[in-house]
Structure 1
Amino acid sequence: MDNRAIGRRVRYWRTRRNLSRAQLANRCDRSVSWLDKIESGERNLLRVPMLERVASALEIPVAALTEDAVAERSSQCLDAVEVQALRTALGSYDTLLGGRMSRDPNLARLRAQVDHACAAWLSSRFTVIGRVLPDLMRDAQAAVRTLDGEPRLEATRHLVMTYRLTSSTLLKFEDTDVAWLAADRAITLATESEDTICLARATRSVARAMTQFGQLRAAIDVLIAMADRMEPDLAGDHELMSLYGMLLLAAEIAAASDGDASTALDLHERADAVAHTLGPRYAHRTTAFGVTNVALHRLAALVRLHEGAAALAHARTIPADAIARLPQERKANYLLDLAEAHRQTGNNQDAGRVLLHADRTAPEEVRCRPVARQLLEQLLEQPDASPTPQLRQLARRIGLPA
């Protein structure tokens, strides 16, 4: 084992767990200077009992420090400790019950925290999101509790966005129970606020959770109801138009998942009309709503309708330069849908090639999400499968036999 590699991993996990050097040293019953030497590689960590103590203090398996493949895989995926931290933050009522706050509400700081979390989401950096959301949630809850008037409304919007990011992140990894809890928190707060922006964001979160639980028709109904409610107020408001469009796109995906091709197409056409009103190069800063994202959702809908050939034909109409301008999260999901379309039509080599492209674009989307793992398993299990060395290497990185 390489002392320096282990030291780098100890430092990485200490930072990821938001531990100071003193805190980790104390957990290991050692001095800060001892930890400094471990992290720098000056001192080895070869004795098994001490390795186990450090790993336990960091709440990771020993292999995450000692084995290259496990270290790489675990560093790229949201883990159980971070999911539990989100669950704990969602279940905390300290600020709501008047508990002591760690610091006074600061809207500028809160705004910067939310912007950072949104940027991490759009970059598909879910380990960053898992690290920042619990504290962000508590800070936003405290701000909502203590502020009044317009400042309270801004804090409420930040908290709803935080709940939405939490729910959306967990849905990607199919941790549906906690995702549902976050979505429920969002819709409860949004309903109390009576703010259209909050309600639109929260409705999409609740509907996505419903979709994951198989409540497809209910999800479609709630999304369309919210969109209809917003329609009279759209007139030139780009923020509301973008949120309205995203409601329609979420309903399109739910309809396609329910096998309702006609409704899915109708919703697509409505969203496309809104996107074209905003302009051919418009893309919302947090949702990427615009003409290209609408086109990507149509591809996703066709895949869910198991119309692989139609999905591939549609994909050929989307300009490559328009896709290149999208954030990583959108590009990676487009590539996963495109790979699935190739698989549905029996083009397994092309499916594998596109999946590798998705991995290069956003590794956390491919190496950590169950949907990508399932797609790779299906490609490897084909009777005539002849995966490339690169695809086999990806399988090993994910932890699949190859």
Structure 2
Amino acid sequence: MSDTPDKIGERVRYWRLRRNLGRKQFADMIGRSTSWLDKVESGERDLVRLPTIELVAEALSIDPTVLTDAPAAARAADCVDAAEVAAIRAALGRYPGLAVPAQEPPEVAHLARESEYLDHAWTSSHFTTIARQLPKLLEGAQVATLMAPESEQVSAHRILVTSYRLASSMLLKFESHDLAWLAADRAMHTALEVDDTWAQARATRSVARAMTAARQRPGAIEVLLGMTDRMRADVHRAPDTLLSLHGMLYLAAAIAAAEQENAGLALSMHEEALDAAERMEPHYAIHHTHFGLANVVIHRVSALVRLYEAEAALRFAESIPAGAINALPPERRANYLLDLTQANTHRGNYAEAVRALTRAERIAPQEVRCRPAAHSLLRTLLSVTTGEPARQVRQMAQRAGVPA
């Protein structure tokens, strides 16, 4: 049964704004007047006819049930969709350098603020915010590297590297591996255009993560360790800005080694990262990485899970103070809890697995309701749980659109 006109109108407006469409632009797309659209969005006019609902939904690139059905609407609002992935793909396919830019050079300071905002959205696991705004940031940053004055070129390149990194990281979460590798490769080429260790380290981590996801693990480790050697002297000169990035490269190498089932190398990389974390001082820049002892230890749990050492992962997790975990941003905490869910599932601790997954959904809903990795965990738990845990899993699965 269709929802009320005001609820449907709210959803039309929400999706029009999410697609970055103006009132007249969207009205023209569906062959209607702006006054008609205003009445629909305010609930004064009901979309009673199915062909009209389908017309509006097609223009918004959504299923008609997203407009008419409350549960479908909630699920769709939570998650990045195919249209947004396509918009990121289109942004990656633009080459502003092949044509004379038809716009004024964007303000690098404005782009920097946008980049910081999306970095914060990432650490908060607000992926729909990134998906909506990232294509525009990519375009602006691409133009800025071509048109900004020499004094702002390093800043412009950093913003573009960050934009590509965000694209790659988000696409990896949703298992668009080839596209993620393309974005990471663009980040690396951008970073190599300027003599800036910060940009090169960030790009290296993105490339390595994309390579790891694509099962090119030896290459990923080689890239990471090559960059750690390359930047070592710079880290000694500027530890306040570079030590956290140096440590994060070792953490990425630990995960790649674990996925290669090389336990010795994974532990060695963990110890290098731990050494870097212990050298950190309070004023060191960590906001782009959230590097520190807490991030290092949860990466160790993640590596042990990937080494199929679930019991060791759970024992190690018990040694981590809860306060240290709670100080991490939502994205990091939720992924740690997904690792605990997997470890507990492997050990047959299904009630504990459900508790961890429930906490992850509460902290960062989009991590559980939208990611294929979380959906896989939900499907497994649906098949093995009984009683109250089974009821909780069914409720989570419904919110995530996973058939129970």
Q: CA RMSD of the aligned region, Å?
A: 1.6
The question of whether the paired residues in 1 share the 8 Å contact of 2:105 and 2:148 is answered with no
| Residue ranges of structure 1 left out of the alignment (5+ in a row) | none
Letter in 2 for 1:61: D
The question of whether the paired residues in 1 share the 8 Å contact of 2:80 and 2:128 is answered with yes
Q: Residue in 1 aligned with 2:206?
A: 205
Letter in 2 for 1:100: P
Q: Residue in 1 aligned with 2:223?
A: 222
The question of whether the paired residues in 1 share the 8 Å contact of 2:80 and 2:131 is answered with yes
Q: Do structure 1's residue 85 and structure 2's residue 87 form an aligned pair?
A: yes
Letter in 2 for 1:252: A
Provide the rounded CA distance (Å) in 2 between the counterparts of 1:260 and 1:122.
29
Provide the rounded CA distance (Å) in 2 between the counterparts of 1:14 and 1:70.
17
Q: Residue in 2 aligned with 1:305?
A: 307
1:118 Cα deviation from its structure 2 partner:
0.4
- Note the alpha carbon deviations across 1:227-265, whole angstroms, 9 max, x for none: 111112212522210111110000000001111111111
1:320 Cα deviation from its structure 2 partner:
1.1
1:131 Cα deviation from its structure 2 partner:
0.7
Q: Do structure 1's residue 115 and structure 2's residue 109 form an aligned pair?
A: no
- Note the alpha carbon deviations across 1:7-26, whole angstroms, 9 max, x for none: 11111101100011111111
The question of whether the paired residues in 1 share the 8 Å contact of 2:350 and 2:381 is answered with yes
Provide the rounded CA distance (Å) in 1 between the counterparts of 2:251 and 2:219.
15
- Note the alpha carbon deviations across 1:24-73, whole angstroms, 9 max, x for none: 11112111121111111121112101101111111111011111221111
Letter in 1 for 2:403: P
1:164 Cα deviation from its structure 2 partner:
0.4
- Note the alpha carbon deviations across 1:190-223, whole angstroms, 9 max, x for none: 1222321111111111111110110111111110
1:79 Cα deviation from its structure 2 partner:
0.8
The question of whether the paired residues in 2 share the 8 Å contact of 1:200 and 1:247 is answered with yes
The residue correspondences of 1:2-401 to structure 2 (distance < 5 A) are 2-93=4-95, 95-235=96-236, 236-279=238-281, 284-382=286-384, 387-401=389-403
Letter in 1 for 2:119: C
- Note the alpha carbon deviations across 1:96-154, whole angstroms, 9 max, x for none: 12333434220110111101110110110111100111110010011100124230111
The question of whether the paired residues in 2 share the 8 Å contact of 1:122 and 1:286 is answered with no
Give TM-score, length-normalised by structure 2: 0.96
Secondary structure of residue in 2 paired with 1:278: coil
Which segment drifts farther, 277-286 or 13-22?
277-286
Provide the rounded CA distance (Å) in 1 between the counterparts of 2:99 and 2:283.
46
Letter in 2 for 1:325: A
1:187 Cα deviation from its structure 2 partner:
0.9
Give TM-score, length-normalised by structure 1: 0.96
Secondary structure of residue in 2 paired with 1:349: helix
* Matched residue count: 401
The question of whether the paired residues in 2 share the 8 Å contact of 1:283 and 1:290 is answered with no
Which segment drifts farther, 78-87 or 95-104?
95-104
1:384 Cα deviation from its structure 2 partner:
6.5
Letter in 2 for 1:315: A
Identity rate, percent: 51
Which segment drifts farther, 296-305 or 228-237?
228-237
Letter in 2 for 1:29: G
Secondary structure of residue in 2 paired with 1:337: helix
Provide the rounded CA distance (Å) in 2 between the counterparts of 1:11 and 1:28.
14
Instruction: Classify 1:106/1:281 alpha carbon distance in 2 versus 1 (closer, same or farther; 3 Å).
Output: closer
Which segment drifts farther, 193-202 or 167-176?
193-202
1:333 Cα deviation from its structure 2 partner:
0.5
The question of whether the paired residues in 2 share the 8 Å contact of 1:282 and 1:291 is answered with no
